[in-house]
Structures are given as structure tokens and as C-alpha cells.
Structure 1
């Protein structure tokens, strides 16, 4: 199947008295990596949390694979094979890496029931996950925690992977490893929606891009077109890629 896997149409989100999203229109093409860019406070994280039902859309429609998910509770949204890696990663610090992975593998009650081939593939993407398999997750470095967070999200096959700033605070070498891993995930056919502030990360990985400002999508198109247009970059982001 082709076309858009996820669409947001006129989505508004209120958090308490604050009106954060002001009619977001966003399309995420099936099998592609879509970058969601914008200055701090533009509404990117709120958009991801609204997709996942963690914050409820007060107006508009969210559609996943042709199904209206706007009013679904978060567990049902996750049950549609949508994985979400929040900015804070959500690692269970007191559990081992292995226990964190087992919790995410909904089809397994014991580690031995996790798909062995898939686990081997994840270890190839993120060797640190295998290296620290029996270590408490809270003892990992920031980069290792981020690798674990993404690994948990893909321990079972997903239709859509949503990740909020995977390179934040990471050393350049770890960022390069993360870029390679997301490139491999793209080649595996998973659809990815990625919020990112690292422009090199966006340029190297993005197929399509949407730029947010003041709670709205103000630009959408091909990532390569934005990467080649310095005037558009300055106008939308205040910088040059």
C-alpha cells in the first residue's frame, strides 16, 4: 500500500487554559521518514503527544491507516503497532536492560519468547544493548539509554515509529551511530515520524519534512528541497542547514 499512513487534519490541542496547537495539518507518507522541525516551543512535542492520545485533541481529526484514532485512549493507539519514544526516553532505571526490553515485548512473558532474529537485528543496530543486557538501565550513559529506548520501541514489528529528539544531548559519535540505525530502520520499511533539532541528522535521514511555528505547520515538502534552499531555511528556522 502507498499513500499517507498518518494524517492530522485541523488538529487543535488545549492544555489547561493554554491553546497549544492551532489547526495542525500533517501528512506522514507510508514507508518514509518524516522530519518534524521548528523552533523551541513551536508545538512539535505537543503534536506527538496528541497523536498518541496523551493529550487530547480538542478539535480536528487524526487518522492512522484509514482509521480515525482521534478519540482513542493511548493503549489502543499503541495497540495499532504505533511505538512512541518520548524526549525523556521513559526508561525504567531500576530494571535491567533485559527487563526493559521484556516489558516492551507484549507478546512475550519470558525473554526466551522474544523473537530471536529480531533481537539479533537490534543488537546489530545497537551493540550497547547487548553489551549491557544484564545491567541496571539507570546506570547507562545518555546515549546508551537512548539506544535502549529506541530498541524497546522496535522489539516488536511496528507500523509507525514516533521519536522525539533522539540526538538530544548526545556526543557526535553516538549521533552518527543513531543516524545509521535510523537509516537501517527506514530500509526495513517502517514509517518514521521524527522530531529533531540536529539539522545534520534531519538532512541525512529525512525524506519529507514539516516545519512548525506557533502551533501550526507552516511548511511541508521534500527534505532535500528544504536542505538546498538557504533562504527558506532562514525564513522558517532562522538558520542554514
Structure 2
């Protein structure tokens, strides 16, 4: 019997048009259950567009998206979130700046209408991952630093168990020390089990540290997929696919 994990999410020949622009050109992507898959590529390659298409924010014009074997290509975004238990952390974080940290997390906890109904064990786990959230529990989210806002955005996605997390460039613009904290939190998420992650990232050391699998995009297509460890060890392949070497970032 094969030990290869089942694919929780798959895209087959997915095309996306936005107005007159043909953005995705036949994306084929597999995201194995229980693993963290990195989606890499140069700026403008189509990574964010892929996440938006999966979430139904942009409609695929051709091809099929399947979640746990079921087609979701034509589902509206709220139904994808609720039915499939998918959480999306966009590049702009999507937090509510006028609300406190507590209120942001409560809004994301779909099964709770008050703080008393929230899963306190899970909250304590999030506080261990992101101590700043406990410290600034009653602060307006808009007054947090960039790194704290990113932590809040990811915590919102994790405040309830989710089958799939889509995270778009979490380390973008963050100081190196904050990036290290973020990497450690995502490692803990991996260790905790149960969640599958598709992570778009431009920081290749983050990719190397976290990725189980990797898919590389160029011009709206997947041009490489495989084990992250294999890409990390092959400088010639890194140069060809990404235009730089991971070794240069160590």
C-alpha cells in the first residue's frame, strides 16, 4: 500500500480571466492532505491569482477545482469557506482595524457568539504562538505593528480548526526577528497536525524552513512541482525557476 498522502485540494487545467486579461493559463496543482505546500514564483507569476480563484473571489473560466474529491469551481466564496472549512489569509491581511484584537478573533470564531463560547484551550494555544495578541487583547487592531497585524490575521484563520489554510505572503515587509517568530508559529501548526496549508511566499528561507512540497509558477502556469527538499538542494534548478539561489540567502 502506498504511503503517498491523499490530495485534499487539486486544480486541473484552471484558467482565469479578469476582464480582458488572461491571468491563469491552465494551472495544474495538487495539495496533499496534512502537508504544507509552498507556492513560489517571481512577482506577477499568478500565485495570488491562484489563491483568489480557489476561494471563488475570481471565477475560473475553464478547468476544475476539487476539494476532498468534490468540485468547488462554481461555488460562491461564503459556501467554499463554510462547506469546505477553508480559511484564507490575504496579502492585505483582512483584519478590522477599528475592532480590538479580541473582537477580530471573536468574529472569526464561527461557532461562538460571545467570548465565553470560544474554545479557551485553543485561545491559550494561539497566545503561546503569538504572545503579542494576549498583550494587546483590548487594543484596536489598526494600532498594532505590521508584524502583530500579520500574526492576528493568521490567528483569525486558526481560531477554529480548519481543514485547509491558504496564506498569501505572510512574511512580506516584516523585520527578520518577526519573520523568525512567524516561522516558528507555522512550524508549531504543522506539528499540531490536522491542518493542510498552501502558502505563497517570496522569502525563500521561509519556504525552505517550512515546505514539505513546492510548486513553482511562471506566467500563470505551474512549471515545477516536487519535494521542497529537492528544490532546496538543487541550486541550478533554483536559478532556472526562480532566478536566484537559496544558498545566497543563508
TM-score, length basis structure 1? 0.99
1:59 equivalent among 45, 58, 62: 62
Query: Whole-Å Cα distance in 2 between the matches of residues 2 and 32 of structure 1?
Result: 8
1:207 to 2:212 alignment: yes
Number of residue-to-residue matches in the alignment: 241
Give the corresponding residue for 1:87. 91
Paired position in structure 2 for 1:173: 177
The runs of at least 4 aligned residues of structure 1 exceeding 3 Å deviation read none
Residues in 2 aligned to 1:129 and 1:54: alpha-carbon distance in whole angstroms = 29
Residues 227 and 182 (structure 1), Cα distance of their counterparts in 2 relative to 1, 3 Å cut: same
Deviations 1:85-130 (A, max 9, x none): 0000011000000000011001000011110000000000000111
2:123 counterpart of 1:109: no
For residues 1-241 of structure 1, the aligned pairs below 5 Å read 2-79=5-82, 80-189=84-193, 190-241=195-246
Q: Distance in 2 between matches of 1:86 and 1:124?
A: 23
Return the offset for 1:2: 3.6
Offset at residue 212 of structure 1 (A): 0.1
Residues in 1 aligned to 2:104 and 2:85: alpha-carbon distance in whole angstroms:
18
SS in 2 for 1:84: strand
Structure 1 residue runs without a partner (length 5+): none
CA–CA distance in 2 between the matches of 1:56 and 1:160? Answer: 19
2:156 match: secondary structure: helix
Structure 2 length as normaliser, TM-score? 0.95
SS of 2:198 mapped into structure 1: strand
